[in-house]
Structure 1
Amino acid sequence: MDTSDKGGPEVVCWRDGALDGACLASARYGEHKFDRHLHDELVIVMTESGAGQCHTRAGSEVAGPGSVLVFGPGEYHSGEVWEGREWNYRAIYLDMEGLGALGAVFSPDSRPDKPLLIPPGLYQDAHLAGLLVKAHASLDEHGSVSLMERQANWWAAMGMLVGRYGQSRHELGEVRREARKIAQVREYVAANYARDIPVDELAELVGLSRYYLTRAFCKEFGLPPHAYATQVRLLAAKRMLAAGHSAATAAAAVGFYDQSHLNRLFKRAYGFTPGTYAALKPGH
Structure 2
Amino acid sequence: MSTVTFYREDSLPFLEAKRCMRSDLAYQKHFHEEYSIGLIDEGETSAWCDGTLLQVEAGRVISFPPKMMHACQPLDDMEWQYKMLFIKPEWFQGLNHTELDQLDIPYLLEEGKNNACRLQINRTMEALISKGTPLEIETALIELIQALVSQNTDDLEHESQRKQDQKYVKLIKEYLHAHFDENVTLEQLENEAGISRFHLVRLFKKWSHLPPHAYQILLRINHAKLELTKQRPISEIAAEVGFYDQSHFSKAFVKIVGATPQKYALSI
TM (normalized to structure 1)?
A: 0.80
Counterpart residue number, 2:195: 208
1:81 maps to a residue whose letter is P
Q: CA deviation at 1:116?
A: 6.0
Counterpart residue number, 1:3: none
Q: Which segment is superposed worse, 13-22 or 260-269?
A: 13-22
Counterpart residue number, 2:38: 45
In 1, distance between residues paired with 2:6 and 2:106?
A: 22
Q: Is the 8 A contact 2:40 2:59 kept in 1?
A: yes
Q: Which segment is superposed worse, 27-36 or 12-21?
A: 12-21
Q: Which segment is superposed worse, 54-63 or 202-211?
A: 202-211
Counterpart residue number, 2:157: none
In 1, distance between residues paired with 2:238 and 2:11?
A: 32
In 1, distance between residues paired with 2:253 and 2:24?
A: 18
Counterpart residue number, 1:4: none
**Matching of residues 53-68 of structure 1 within 5 Å:** 53-68=46-61
**Matching of residues 4-83 of structure 1 within 5 Å:** 9-16=2-9, 19=12, 21-83=14-76
1:181-229: per-residue Cα shift (whole Å, max 9, x none)?
3321221121111111121222233332222111111112111111111
**Matching of residues 224-243 of structure 1 within 5 Å:** 224-243=211-230
1:95 to 88, 99, 110: 88
2:243 to 256, 260, 272: 256
1:120-143: per-residue Cα shift (whole Å, max 9, x none)?
4122434224312431342243x2
Q: SS where residue 36 of structure 2 aligns?
A: strand
- Report the identity percentage: 24
In 2, distance between residues paired with 1:74 and 1:239?
A: 16
Q: CA deviation at 1:239?
A: 1.5
Q: CA deviation at 1:148?
A: 5.5
Q: Which segment is superposed worse, 239-248 or 262-271?
A: 239-248
Counterpart residue number, 2:156: none
Structure 1's 263 and 164: CA in aligned 2 closer, same or farther, altered over 3 A?
same
Structure 1's 149 and 60: CA in aligned 2 closer, same or farther, altered over 3 A?
same
Q: Is the 8 A contact 1:66 1:124 kept in 2?
A: no
**Equivalent residues, number:** 259
Counterpart residue number, 1:222: 209
Counterpart residue number, 1:121: 107
Q: Does 1:277 align with 2:264?
A: yes
**Matching of residues 136-155 of structure 1 within 5 Å:** 136-141=124-129, 143=130, 149-155=136-142
Q: CA deviation at 1:149?
A: 4.9
Q: Is the 8 A contact 1:18 1:151 kept in 2?
A: no
Q: What is the alpha-carbon root mean square deviation over aligned residues? A: 2.7
In 2, distance between residues paired with 1:131 and 1:12?
A: 20
Q: What are structure 1's unaligned runs of at least 5 residues?
A: 1-6, 166-171
Q: CA deviation at 1:34?
A: 0.8
Q: Is the 8 A contact 1:62 1:82 kept in 2?
A: no
Counterpart residue number, 1:134: 122
Q: Is the 8 A contact 2:36 2:65 kept in 1?
A: yes
Q: Is the 8 A contact 1:131 1:156 kept in 2?
A: no
